[in-house]
Amino acid sequence: MAINISDFHNTKHTGLKIHNDGMTFLFDIRVLGKRYRRKWEANKLHSKPDRLKTAYNKLEAFRDDIIHKNTITANIDATVDDYWIKLKVVKGWKAELIKNYDYFYNKHLGYFSNIKISKIKPSDFTNLNVSLKDYALATQKKAYEILKPLFDLAVEDEIIFKSPIKKSHIPVRKQIEEKKIITDATVKYRKIYETIHQLFGKDEVVKIDKKEVKCIDNPHHRALFLFGFYGRRLKEVTSLQWKDINFNDNTYVVRGVNSKVNTDMKFTLPKDIKEALLEFVSDSENVFHIKHTKDHYPKIRLLSGIEEFSFHWMRNLAVSALSAMGASLGDLTALLGHNDSGTLKKYLSLQRQVATQNTNELSNKLLNWKEEA
């Protein structure tokens, strides 16, 4: 029997139309450029919202069936987990990076694990963003470093015909809005440096506004916070291994798996960090063993009088203070370990060690250091 399309009107679901009688639905979809239509009768005993909901589910089943019949090699029942396994093989990632991604996937993306990839809807990513809203922007973006190529691969396999991930789902860093102007940066730079050495450099009790701060000679913590002072991200520091540090040529390497740019980066090792590291160097694999750096923030804020202090804030402080001392844009870019771009890409990649040597020298000048002859 021919379908009189004029008797049907659109619903809120693409490809689903409803007859004027309110009981008959029409599935009207295109797969691989071919049009498919089918009528479906709702249960008269169901309410209008229930009829629409059931019709939509039937439409999706109809769509899945058509896709399955048109796809020879793809598995229409494949789950997100199945494609996560497949993606790791296709990408050819190194074992260390896979370990890092697997940990993130299991911790933050477990919701998707056993769901058929063809059943994932755009609203699922809205929900994901809500669940990650209290995490750092880097964590939010990392979710899509995994999910976007995963769903793109499913599109290539024709399991789905377009990714449910919309452009608006992917967090975008608004750098201009994020930048916080640090006033009196050079003064604060010196003060934070002095505070790190005071808090972790000698055993004493300091009283400030009737509050006591217990300072301890702790080269482990002193080295960790000094790495942050010289521009390193917390993860870059806590993931350092002794094999990454070369005391002979005074350099250290942040491995790509632990950096935002996924490439190994070599930096000049500052003299004061080297001295602290040599006080507790060991045969263990990892340099640092600390779980809660934030526990020390209140003490540093109280001793320094700088309320905005945080580990990551020190990166902004370093840029503000060293740029005031005349550091070049290229040196500051290399110091922070940002992505290299344009014609400077190769140069900056090769000169990161030299660039940090330059910024270290400016830092020494700012801190009024006098190198030994």
Cα 231 from Cα 337, distance rounded (Å): 8
φ/ψ of 221, rounded to 5, equals -70, -35
CATH architecture of 179-366: Orthogonal Bundle (1.10)
CB 146 within 8 A of CB 102: no
Architecture of the domain whose range is 5-70: 2-Layer Sandwich (3.30)
- Tell me if 244 sits within 8 A of 227, measured CB to CB: no
Q: Which residues have CB under 8 Å from 16's CB, separation 6+? A: 10, 25, 26, 27, 28, 55, 56, 59
CB atoms within 10 A of CB 4: 8
DSSP 274-307: HHHHHHH--SSSBS---S-GGGGHHHHHHHH--T
Residue 350: per-residue pLDDT? 41
Question: What is the per-residue pLDDT for 216?
Answer: 96
Query: Do 117 and 156 form a contact (C-beta atoms < 8 A)?
Result: no
Write down the residue that tokens 């452009």 correspond to: 167
Instruction: Compute the C-alpha angle 193/194/198, nearest 5°.
Output: 120
CA atoms within 13 A on the CB side of 16: 23
Q: Provide the β-strand partners of residue 38.
A: 27
pLDDT for res 110: 86
In sequence order, the β-bridge partners of residue 194 are none
Backbone torsions φ then ψ of 264, nearest 5 degrees: -65, 140
From the centroid of its chain, how far is CA 103?
Answer: 13
Q: Distance between CA 45 and CA 54 in Å, rounded?
A: 13
- Residue tagged 């660039």 (tokens): 355
Which amino acid makes up residue 95? A
pTM of model > 0.85: no
Q: At what angle do helices 313-324 and 219-229 cross, to 10 degrees?
A: 60
Please indicate whether the domains covering 5-70 and 179-366 agree at the CATH topology level: no
Eight-class DSSP state of 43: P
Sequence spans of domains, the chain:
5-70, 93-175, 179-366
Splitting the chain (373 residues) into consecutive groups of 10 residues, what average pLDDT does each group show?
84 92 92 83 92 92 75 71 88 80 90 89 92 83 92 88 91 56 87 97 92 95 97 93 96 87 87 96 93 91 95 90 84 73 39 72 78 42
Q: Which residue has the tokens 């700012």?
A: 366
Structure tokens at 318: 């370093």
**What's the token pair of residue 108?**
């933050």
Single out the residue of 105, 99, 93 nearest to residue 144, CA to CA: 105
DSSP for 48-74 reads HHHHHHHHHHHHHHHHHHHHHHH-SS-
Residue 19, token pair as written in the block = 């007859």
* Residue 44 DSSP symbol: T
Among 57, 80, 190, which Cα is nearest to 143's?
80
* Residue of 269, 272, 273, 268 lying closest to 354 (CA atoms): 268
Distance CA 230, CA 304 (A): 17
